C-alpha cells in the first residue's frame, strides 16, 4: 500500500534530492569556512610570535635605540631565521617612539587551506610585537 500525500501548496512538490545535495554542500562549506578561520588565526599567531622575537632581537642589538638602526636589525633577524609556515613575510615598521619600546610590524601573505575564490582577495595579514627595555 502506497501512501502519498499531496497538499495544495506548490512549495511541497518535488524531489528531496536537491535538498539533500544542498544540505551536504552547506555542511561542506561550513567546515571549510571554519578551517579557513582557524588557519588565518594560526597564521596571525605565528606572525605575532615572529614580530615579538624580531622586536626582542632588535632591542638586544641596539645599545642606543634609534629609529635609523632598528629596521636594519629587524631585517637582519628575518633574513637569518626564515620563518616556517608563513609566506612572503615583509617588515612594515620597526621603530621606537619613547626610546625604550621597540615596535615591529610584520605582514604576510595568507592562503587558505583550500583555495576558494571568495577568499582570494583576503590575502594579507599583519601583526605587531613590542619589546621594552627596563630603565
Partner 1 sequence: MKLSTDLLGDRGYAIVDFIGFGVLLQIPVLMFSTFALSLQHQQFAIEAIARHAIRAHVLVPDSSNTMRVISELAVDFGIKESEVIWELKCSPDPKCVEQGSIVRLDVKLGGLSAAALQGI
Residues that bind partner 1 (CB under 8 A): 13-21, 23-24, 27-28, 31, 34-35, 38-39, 42, 45-46, 49-50, 53, 56-57, 60, 80-81, 83-85
* Residue labelled with grid coordinates 597564521: 43
Q: How far apart are CB 129 and partner 1 at their closest, in Å?
A: 11
DSSP state of 95: E
| Beta carbon nearer to partner 1, 14 or 134 | 14
The cell for 41 is 588565526
Q: How far apart are CB 9 and partner 1 at their closest, in Å?
A: 13
Distances (CA, A) of 40 to 31, 56, 108, 115: 14, 24, 11, 13
| Beta carbon nearer to partner 1, 17 or 68 | 17
Q: How far apart are CB 15 and partner 1 at their closest, in Å?
A: 6
β-strand partners of 93: 105
| Beta carbon nearer to partner 1, 57 or 105 | 57
The cell for 117 is 575564490
Q: How far apart are CB 97 and partner 1 at their closest, in Å?
A: 22
Give the sign of the dihedral formed by CA 71, CA 74, CA 76, CA 78. negative
- Helix H or strand E encompassing 78: helix 70-80
| Beta carbon nearer to partner 1, 39 or 95 | 39
Amino acid at each position: 500500500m502506497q501512501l502519498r500525500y499531496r497538499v495544495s501548496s506548490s512549495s511541497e512538490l518535488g524531489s528531496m534530492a536537491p535538498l539533500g545535495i544542498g544540505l551536504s554542500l552547506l555542511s561542506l562549506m561550513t567546515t571549510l569556512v571554519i578551517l579557513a578561520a582557524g588557519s588565518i588565526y594560526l597564521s596571525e599567531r605565528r606572525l605575532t610570535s615572529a614580530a615579538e622575537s624580531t622586536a626582542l632581537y632588535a632591542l638586544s642589538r641596539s645599545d642606543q635605540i634609534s629609529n635609523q638602526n632598528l629596521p636594519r636589525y629587524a631585517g637582519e633577524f628575518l633574513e637569518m631565521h626564515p620563518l616556517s609556515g608563513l609566506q612572503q613575510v615583509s617588515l612594515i615598521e620597526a621603530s621606537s617612539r619613547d626610546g625604550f619600546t621597540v615596535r615591529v610590524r610584520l605582514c604576510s601573505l595568507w592562503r587558505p587551506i583550500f583555495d576558494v575564490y571568495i577568499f582570494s582577495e583576503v590575502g594579507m595579514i599583519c601583526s605587531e610585537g613590542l619589546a621594552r627595555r627596563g630603565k
